[in-house]
Structure 1
Amino acid sequence: MSSLEFTPPKYVQIVHALQERITEGTYAPGELLPSEARLVREFGAGRSTVVRALQILTMQGWIGREHGRGSFVKGVPGGSTERSHAGASAFDAAETATETTITHAGRAAVPPAIAHALGVPADSPAILRQRLVSDDSGASELVSLWFPLDIAEGTDLHAPEPITIGVKGHLQAIKQARPARIVERLSARQATEQETSLLQLDKASPVLGVMATVLDATESVIAVADIVLPGDLHELEDSYPAS
């Protein structure tokens, strides 16, 4: 294997495998997918890895999920179907998986890039909620969610305990803050010292950074998600019409 090749993380492999089966008609529209327990056995993955793959397929429009019924096929979605939606996933994900560790929850000084996205001066205070996510390959992403103080006021975003319904659900329930649009920007760069330590990277390892600004219907910023992915464990793919 050349130095430019790598094996995608397990959840990406599951996403691609299920997409291929839906595209080929192995799983027809309206048909139930195998249960999570069966997918765990088939792919030799942890339950949280399978759930993460199903969440991505749901956000991309390949499948639907209903409580008490399971996951069912919707079909091949139209338009661009391979986008990562990393910001939506980070904002929506529950924090209860055993592979998720809250590494910071509370006030922090906003770095310049985040400050620009939040529309505040650099080093202004904001609420930072940071978590480290692992999968079968080890530490797979570092998610830092930044919130304006007025958005975080009266919530549990500063608390170190996991938010079981996810940040999105928590803000909707407490503050009636509903995202209407997410703007993502992808960059490749060297990892910082903190990222190298938390993600257990070699020194000078590259990372993929996704900065996602979450906006409400009035275009006010609800949150900024800064997602760091080890460059040798992730690939982001997009597919769209040429015309």
Structure 2
Amino acid sequence: MDFAPPKYVQIVQAVQERITDGTYPVGTQLPSESGMVREFGAGRSTVVRALEILRMEGWIDREHGRGSFVKGVPTTAVERSHAGASAFDTAEQGGEVKIIETGRTTAPAAIAEALGFPEGSPAIRRQRVLMADGEPSELVTLWFPLDVADGTDVGKDQLITIGVREHLHALKRLRPARVAERLSARHASEEEARLLQLGKHTPVLSILARILDGSDGVLAVADIVLPGDLHELEDSYPAA
């Protein structure tokens, strides 16, 4: 079966094609976020997510209050999911994000290991479902060390409309430097199937991402579950 890429990937690919073929020349400003929302029929958070991926891959520059500007085709163009960074960056918009659960809890063994903590250690959990065309599209659980979460809203059930990355930087001057991801395929758990409205034995893509600062300290762990029948992840890289 052929599966269409998620909407944010479609936007990334469309902008990359337009930069490559000269439709968007180097140095010019991209259409506004609201214009892209109308053109692609996507929510603002989806457009912002696509633009952040383009920025991280070196296709564009983004200037606060001014917009996005074309840098050109990167010397090494790499097509990745950037799921962990995206989960950390994405602004939470009403109607597109549903907060499931937040607050302090005991981290499961795999999460505690990813955080660098002993099994059974407490952490702050922020779980949300991303919606696409009114249907659950992605389950994201962000886990934070207590000292990172202290003094922030990541453990509260209100939407963080500027995204967790900007929220942590604004309040605590914390900034991620690297994301380490691990991808696996498996069947959804009962809870995941319920939240994503999946049938029995539906395959999912599971991504566990560690968001690290410049000293390789863990700022957060993102546990991302994608329905296998809605998503595909692509990568390209030099063979030599």
- The reply to whether TM is greater than 0.5 is yes
Q: Which has the higher mean CA deviation after the structures are superposed, 104-113 or 41-50?
A: 41-50
The alignment status of 1:48 with 2:45, answered yes or no, reads yes
- 1:83 is aligned, of 80, 85, 88, to 80
1:203 corresponding residue in structure 2: 200
Q: CA deviation at 1:51?
A: 3.0
* 1:199-231 deviation line (CA, Å, top 9, x unaligned): 111111111111111122222211111111111
Q: CA deviation at 1:127?
A: 0.6
* 1:53-72 deviation line (CA, Å, top 9, x unaligned): 22322222212222343222
Q: CA RMSD in A?
A: 1.9
The verdict on how the C-alpha distance between 1:207 and 1:150 changes in structure 2, with shifts beyond 3 A counting, is same
Structure 1 residues 34-183: aligned runs within 5 Å: 34-136=31-133, 138-183=135-180
Q: Percent identity?
A: 66
Aligned length: 240
- What is the CA–CA distance in structure 1 between the aligned matches of 2:134 and 2:231, rounded to whole Å? 11
The verdict on how the C-alpha distance between 1:35 and 1:178 changes in structure 2, with shifts beyond 3 A counting, is closer
The verdict on how the C-alpha distance between 1:116 and 1:137 changes in structure 2, with shifts beyond 3 A counting, is same
TM-score by length of 2: 0.91
TM-score by length of 1: 0.90
* 1:40-99 deviation line (CA, Å, top 9, x unaligned): 333333333333322322222212222343222111112242122111111122223430
Structure 1 residues 189-200: aligned runs within 5 Å: 189-200=186-197
The verdict on how the C-alpha distance between 1:131 and 1:75 changes in structure 2, with shifts beyond 3 A counting, is same
- What is the CA–CA distance in structure 1 between the aligned matches of 2:165 and 2:155, rounded to whole Å? 15
The verdict on how the C-alpha distance between 1:33 and 1:6 changes in structure 2, with shifts beyond 3 A counting, is same
Amino acid at match of 1:116: E
